[in-house]
Amino acid sequence: MIRSRYWLIFILVVIIFFTRLLIFNKDAVGFWADESRYPLLIANLDEAYKLGNYLLPLKQLFNIDARPGAGLFYYPPAFLELQNPNIPFALSYNLIINSLLLILVFFIVKKIQNLKAAIVTTLILTFSIAPLIYIRHTLPYDLALLLLLIGLFLYVYFQKSLLFGLFAGLSFLTYPSYYYYLIPIPFILILYNRSLKSALHFIIGISLIIITTQFLSVSIGSSTSYLQSLKDQSGGVTAIQQGDYMPAASYIGEYILAVDGYWNLLLILIIFPGIFLIKSRKKILFFAIYLMLVLLILETFSHILQKHVLFGRTVRPLYLLTLGFSGLLLERVFSKRIYSFALGIILIITFLNHLPRFLAYKSLIYPAQFKQTARSYLDVKYDKYEIEDTLFVNYWDSENPDPELVWHFFKGGESGKYYTMNAVQTFPYFGNFNMDEFCKNEVLLKEPHIQYIFQPYQFEGYKKVMREKMEKDPLYYQLIYCKI
């Protein structure tokens, strides 16, 4: 029996790791503008080595938009890439981080419930596109969640609430917009333990991290203090530029449908009757209270106070927590007579729902790949040619366009030249540009843009009107030739 358990865990780890490995795509790196922070880390290390100023990388941590933790933890792969520029160490790093996330989920659920619940919950999360979205990009969102889960793991297994707080603080340093998920934790610790001690230790842990970071930022003479950079960053972007101040529940519902479809939405809706069907409710109810508090905070800041625009990256943890919660409930709802059969059917349907989405994500063509294809196409036909990259989408069809984002002038295409169109991240989007105004052209290659094919990408900054426009007027990469 013990050996079979080890085999089950081993198979689960293999599934987690290889599903992540299968979507490895080095050409996706740099697609998002926020990924520009990672090359800066490599540049910092290079400059420090050339100048002999070995404090420079530490100073520069406080110039990463209130994300010093992201810089600190991404310095190791940045150092390796400085030595070997052709090897994408950051993506391997992301793969390990993402795999560890789910492995930690397994062990945490195993501790608070049982082995079967851990397997079911972890598989439901594994068969979701949501955890996979940022593996291909040098962004700190998975890393911030991993740090928080490490703290939770230490608390669940060893009752170390101070360490939980320290790791929660590191998570906050890595991506501060996850503060929504930190605020209710002390309250839940008080309710669960019926004591202030754990909550105080947790708060002290976070405070120590923030105070130490502020002290370091001032003492090493960085250009800005940590708290000042946090204050500057808290202003964030406005709904005029990115996203909407819409109800959080509505936004999350749209996000779930875009990421995993109606089946996963159904799995989450099962929670409501499921809570009333189980007998022992203590742990389940505390988990439910926590999720409700997080949703309330999101709703308050995003819709009521209109202080924070929702993104896919900020609602994703709540979605994954809720999806995992449904796994916990399902394991406890069914009677022993139909237990294995019912859970088996649910996992099979979950896998079948996931598979086509996984394959579609795996086969995405990123801008860098389309540019390579365009050059290969021209290389076959011509020894010499001129090719330029262009971005042409319609910025004018918004009811209230931001003046800074509207093009007042553009240069027409030159006859006899080739242009790749929209082989970049596009923002904002209000429809395709009429290329006849650019030049008399011939379309040589055309591929659907990833922001059209992969809808979760549309939740990273697009307003709802932009997502709707993308459905009506799809975006494409194109290679065109401007005729004489």
Residue 43 to residues 47, 54, 78, 316: CA-CA distances in angstroms? 6, 13, 9, 31
Torsion of CA 411, 413, 414, 417, to 10 degrees: 140
Written in H, E and C, the secondary structure of the chain is CHHHHHHHHHHHHHHHHHHHHCCCCHHHCCCCHHHHHHHHHHHHHHHHHHHCCCCHHHHHHHHCCCCHHHHHHHHHHHHHHHHCCCCCHHHHHHHHHHHHHHHHHHHHHHHHCCHHHHHHHHHHHHCCCHHHCCCCCCCCHHHHHHHHHHHHHHHHHHCCHHHHHHHHHHHHHHCHHHHHHHCCHHHHHHHHHCCCHHHHHHHHHHHHHHHHHHHHHHHCCCCCCHHHHHHHHHCCCCCCCCCCCCCHHHHHHHHHHHHCCHHHHHHHHCHHHHHHHCCCCHHHHHHHHHHHHHHHHHHHHHHHCCCCCCCHHHHHHHHHHHHHHHHHHHHHHCCCCCHHHHHHHHHHHHHHHHHHHHHHHHCCCCHHHHHHHHHHHHHHHCCCCCEEEECCECCCCCCCCCHHHCCCCCCCCCCCCEEEECCCCCCCCCCECCHHHCCCEEEEEEEECHHHHCHHHHHCCCCHHHHHHHHHCCCEEEEEEECC
Query: What length is written for the chain?
Result: 484
Q: Which residues pair with 481 in a beta bridge?
A: 418, 442
Calpha distance 450→423 (Å, rounded)? 10
Q: Which residues pair with 421 in a beta bridge?
A: 390, 478
Q: What is the pLDDT of residue 406?
A: 45
pTM for the predicted model, two decimal places: 0.93
Which residue has 């002390």 as its token pair?
186
Q: What is the pLDDT of residue 409?
A: 45
Sites in the chain below the pLDDT cut of 70: 1-3, 222, 235-241, 280, 335, 395-411, 484
Q: What is the pLDDT of residue 246?
A: 87
- The full set of domain ranges for the chain reads 2-362, 367-482
Calpha distance 318→249 (Å, rounded)? 11
Measured in whole angstroms, the distance separating CA 104 from the mean position of its chain's CA atoms is 18
Q: What is the pLDDT of residue 52?
A: 85
Q: What is the pLDDT of residue 436?
A: 84
Phi, psi dihedral angles at 128 (to 5 degrees): -135, 145
Report CA torsion sign: 169, 120, 299, 310: positive
Q: What is the pLDDT of residue 186?
A: 96
Q: What is the pLDDT of residue 109?
A: 94
Q: What is the pLDDT of residue 407?
A: 47
Calpha distance 95→17 (Å, rounded)? 8
Q: What is the pLDDT of residue 339?
A: 76
**CB burial string 19-38: b at 16+ within 10 A, e below:** bbeebebebbbbbbebbebb
